[in-house]
Structure 1
């Protein structure tokens, strides 16, 4: 045996299940098998089970009626805007209210007040006579447009992002009806810029006219939006 081999032999110390060869520990094959069977394989099994569960939950969620109000999660609504109220809360509060007051029309109709062809939940952009959409298409259109109005209101009034979810929902529903241009120039918006949520909510009933006339439907809609707005204060 060479001198180097003699030094290596002296450095090798016997241990249970293997040997320590400076500076490494060399385990026996049985130890690797035990580690594989008792730790690695069960861990992989748990990971696969969790992934499968998450996939099933995602499929269930996308098929549930609640997913309609939490798609951030959809359209142009951006998570960075949601500070005062969560995305799901604002959508769940505001989108159904807008849908209720706009009403669903699957076939394009002539809006005498707006002098424009309208379809679904008050959609007017690019609508032409004879256009027709399914309920699912109309809901998708509403989600996209509603999210766009919320984003536009935040761009117009950054302070709105700090408001309670109820205020954001009511203001977005109102702007969806009156238009961003009119909303951004309003006294209501001035109150929002000063974070005067209650004063802003109390401006809603003033928006009850169309074509220069007070309409009972708008009176009722503004009262509903005001109740929602104030409920968050």
Structure 2
């Protein structure tokens, strides 16, 4: 799985792009679309400048390692929107933060709603609640809880309702079931027929 264009746009929306290095609210030198990692071996620093094309390329290049961190850390089946939210979170908070987070622990235990609520705890920098981080975590949580638009799964939910395996199509919209749950239930229905 790779981050979708919508996931990239989520990151861009909250990171913003600055072509001259600056210190972020956490006091870390940053450039481009939130890049804090070295560029050709040189960390962002005062006076450093890049072009828009370099900023765009850096984002796409650096996202690969954050995608990999999510792939190796998450053991529970997730869909594209959840992956996008987790990559955005990891890009902003760091790979170590993801790996040690209660968010990840809850997700890997299958507690989707509990994991989603954990996003909101990550809204501080330097011990202070930042409104920008609160907005970002809320957007990530909402993306995480948004089922993918997939007509196959919508039809599957209808089938599960008709077979009285689940009681309402609203359950899918309420995020009680993930794609993995639906797949397992469809297998259950198919084996009964």
Report the TM-score when normalising by structure 2: 0.69
Distance 1:174 1:116 in 2: 17
Distance 1:197 1:164 in 2: 11
Alpha-carbon deviation of 1:182? Answer: 1.4
Identify, as 1 or 2, the structure richer in strand. 1
Name segments (4+ residues, structure 1) moved above 6 Å.
none
2:53 corresponds to which of 127, 136, 151: 136
2:122 corresponds to which of 200, 207, 226: 207
Give the 5 Å matches for 1:51-130. 82=1, 87=2, 90-111=3-24, 113-125=25-37, 126-130=43-47
Structure having the higher Rg: 1
1:189 corresponds to which of 88, 96, 104: 104
Residue 216 of structure 1 corresponds to which residue in structure 2? 131
Distance 2:71 2:133 in 1: 24
Residue 146 of structure 2 corresponds to which residue in structure 1? 231
SS at 1:130 equivalent? coil
Alpha-carbon deviation of 1:156? Answer: 2.1
Residue 145 of structure 1 corresponds to which residue in structure 2? 62
Residue 90 of structure 2 corresponds to which residue in structure 1? 175
Give a deviation string over 1:80-110, Cα, whole Å, max 9, x none: xx2xxxx3xx322211101110110011112
1:198 corresponds to which of 90, 110, 113: 113
Structure 1 residue 164 corresponds to structure 2 residue 76:
no
Structure 2: segments with no counterpart, 5+ residues: 38-42, 148-174, 176-193
SS at 2:4 equivalent? helix
Give a deviation string over 1:120-176, Cα, whole Å, max 9, x none: 0111121122221111111111111122111012212233xx201000100110111
State whether residues 104 and 115 of structure 2, in contact with CA within 8 Å, keep that contact through their aligned partners in structure 1.
Answer: yes
State whether residues 70 and 83 of structure 2, in contact with CA within 8 Å, keep that contact through their aligned partners in structure 1.
Answer: no
Alpha-carbon deviation of 1:217? Answer: 0.8
Report the TM-score when normalising by structure 1: 0.58
Distance 1:191 1:122 in 2: 27
Please tell me the root mean square deviation across aligned C-alpha atoms, in Å: 1.4
Distance 2:54 2:112 in 1: 34
Task: Tell me the number of residue pairs that the alignment of Structure 1 and Structure 2 aligns.
Answer: 143
Give a deviation string over 1:17-60, Cα, whole Å, max 9, x none: xxxxxxxxxxxxxxxxxxxxxxxxxxxxxxxxxxxxxxxxxxxx
